[in-house]
Each structure stands twice: as C-alpha cells, then as structure tokens.
Structure 1
Amino acid sequence: MRIPTLNHILPALAIFVSGAAFAGDLKIDVSVPADRQGLVMAAVFDKADGFPRGTPLRTATAKPVQGKATLQFTDLPKGDYAVTAFLDENSNTRLDANLFGIPTELYGFSRNARNMAGPPPFAEAAFRMEDNAQQQAFELK
C-alpha cells in the first residue's frame, strides 16, 4: 500500500480550506418604481476604503421586471459588504448628476442607508455575510 505524500495532501487541503473561506451567494432584490425604465447597475464593496465611488469587489446588472431587479453575487468570502445600485435610464453606464452633483437617476444602498449630504458611510450600508446564502433588499429613490 502506498502512503500519501505531502505533495498529494497539500492540494486537497488547499481546496478544503479555500472552500471553507467562502460564505456563499448573495442575492439582492432592488425595488424600482414601475414607471421608470432602464438597467439596474449594482456594485458590491468589501471595505470602506473607496465606497461607493471606488473600485468595487464585483458588479452586476439586471433589467427590472414588474418593479424589481434581482442581482446575484456568487462565492463571496465571509465578511462585511455594502452594495450600491442605480437605475441607468439613458444607457450611459454611469449615475448622472445635475450641475450641483445631485443625482438625476434613481439610486440606493444596501440596508436602505441614506445620508443627507452625499452617500452614506460604508458602516451604515454594510451587512455581514456568514451563511451559505444571504438575501438583501433595498429600493432605489
């Protein structure tokens, strides 16, 4: 009988350990007024640095159906996350704003976080991923 060597055990151990680091899938349901048309563009962030205008961990898009867009992020590691989304009504892939910097398209954040003067801080929009699957819902205003 042949005894497994370290070279045989390490790859199997790496797969096991890396699989344990993932919390699973995140499903986001975004409510959109039924009279508004466009593509919902969402971004998930895993740290406060750069939220919400920096480089996100992942992005997704979905077309609203009957006032709701569902977005899926798979294989996310355990940790704290915040999601931002907006309705791209003119298909230019960016959140449009007026001359004063106030958004002219609908937008929102996870946990329905809001701030009177600009976007909310990461901590107000953040939630913890620990389970195999998680669902969050918020609305665009």
Structure 2
Amino acid sequence: MKPVLLRLSLLLLLMSCGSAFAQNLYVNLQGIKNDTGKIRVGLYSNKEKFRKEAYALKVIEVPAKAGTVQVEFTDLQPGWYAIMAYHDEDANGRLNLLLGMYPTEGYGLSNNPSVFGPPTFEDSAFKMEDQNLSINIETRY
C-alpha cells in the first residue's frame, strides 16, 4: 500500500508545481477607433493553427472602447505564443475581409510586424517565461 501512496503523493506534488509556473499575459490593444462592436483577441501556441480562431488556445471577447483596451490571459505555461486581435465592429464573430484577403476591420498582431500577405506565427511569436508579461499591440484600420 505504501508504494501506491508514495506515487500518488509524488503525482500531486508534480501537478501542483506545474501550476506554480503559470503566468498571466496582459494584452493592450491600442488605437481602437470607436465603441462599436466587440474586440476579439485570440491566443495561439501552434504555428499551423495561427489565425484560425476556431483552433485558438483561448479567445477573449470584450466590448469595444475607443482608445486602449486591455485583456488578460491567465494561467499560461512558459512557451511560445502569438496573438491576433481584431475590432469586430459588426459583431459577427469574424474578421471581415475584402476579396478574402484584405481586412476591412481593425486588426493587430503581437510584435506589430509589417507584413505583406498572411502573417505567420513566427512574425508574431513571443516567449512567455516564468513571470507575468504585458505586451502592446497597435490596431491597424
């Protein structure tokens, strides 16, 4: 019976240590032009699924507010992440595109890369370490 209790105790200890390293990410979306609609912020950890909101690690939706909007992702483990956010002015739950390629609503990416064509995970990737992190994203219209 002792080996079973020892294994269980060790497992519980390892599980509690993993959560001790969980951190928070604060995302400041700057340059929101009006209070219309929603702000949607997707957090990605997989480069193949970047920008595919249905596959985001987490998505936060908040009411739009002109100026800067802050959202918080909690309990993140250390690793590489990327953010894609957009101002869903018509609140239809997706980023509207002209000709299927050009955003017609404000959007922003972590690292604020200048991109031509679809942005990649690598363009926007940042590393979460063992401390809370705050990043600023410029909203482009």
TM-score by length of 2: 0.84
The answer for the alignment partner of 2:108 in structure 1 is 108
Q: Which runs of 5+ in 2 are unaligned?
A: none
Pair 1:10–1:86, CA change in 2 (3 A): same
The answer for the alignment partner of 1:132 in structure 2 is 131
Name the count of aligned residue pairs: 137
The answer for the alignment partner of 2:41 in structure 1 is 42
Secondary structure at the aligned position of 2:123 is classed as helix
The answer for the alignment partner of 2:96 in structure 1 is 96
The one-letter code sitting in structure 2 at the alignment partner of 1:61 is E
Rounded Cα–Cα distance in structure 2 between residues aligned with 1:33 and 1:15 = 40
How much does 1:88 deviate?
0.5
Rounded Cα–Cα distance in structure 1 between residues aligned with 2:13 and 2:27 = 32
Pair 1:100–1:50, CA change in 2 (3 A): closer
The one-letter code sitting in structure 2 at the alignment partner of 1:90 is D
Rounded Cα–Cα distance in structure 2 between residues aligned with 1:8 and 1:53 = 39
Secondary structure at the aligned position of 2:15 is classed as helix
Secondary structure at the aligned position of 2:73 is classed as strand
Q: RMSD of the TM alignment (CA)?
A: 2.2
For the 8 Å contact 1:23–1:130, the answer to whether it is kept is no
Q: Which runs of 5+ in 1 are unaligned?
A: none
Q: Which has the higher helix share?
A: 2
How much does 1:82 deviate?
0.3
The answer for the alignment partner of 2:121 in structure 1 is 122
The answer for the alignment partner of 1:86 in structure 2 is 86
Pair 1:122–1:46, CA change in 2 (3 A): same
Secondary structure at the aligned position of 2:48 is classed as coil
Cα shift readout 1:38-60 (whole Å, capped 9, x = no counterpart): 21100000121111125110011
Cα shift readout 1:101-126 (whole Å, capped 9, x = no counterpart): 311101110011231122x2111101
TM-score by length of 1: 0.84
Runs (4+) off by over 6 Å: none
For the 8 Å contact 2:32–2:65, the answer to whether it is kept is no
For the 8 Å contact 2:35–2:65, the answer to whether it is kept is no
Rounded Cα–Cα distance in structure 1 between residues aligned with 2:120 and 2:93 = 23
